[in-house]
Amino acid sequence: GARFVHMVYCFARYVMIEDMRKLSVGTGIPFAEAVKRRPKDMYIAKARHRVAYNKLLQILQREDFVMQEYGKKAR
């Protein structure tokens, strides 16, 4: 349901942030300030968040549909 999708989204975001943190080591880019920095336009930031969240939901729904179709054909 919606709670599971939200949990998967939060986990994917966490993994992405950790990956960015590891990749920024030694580049001279202070990672903590970059992640915690607030965007200038919160409306655009929220819109991007909604787009990413909806895209993840669509991918999960498509994957569920494909898995159901495979299950039907396997019978």
- Predicted TM-score of the model (pTM): 0.48
- Residue type at 37? R
Residue 45 has pLDDT above 70, yes or no: yes
Torsion of CA 45, 50, 52, 57, to 10 degrees: 170
- Helix, strand, coil content of the chain in percent (nearest 5): 80, 0, 20
For residue 44, the surrounding DSSP H or E stretch is helix 42-74
pLDDT one-digit tens code per residue, 3-39? 888 888 888 888 887 877 777 666 666 665 666 667 7
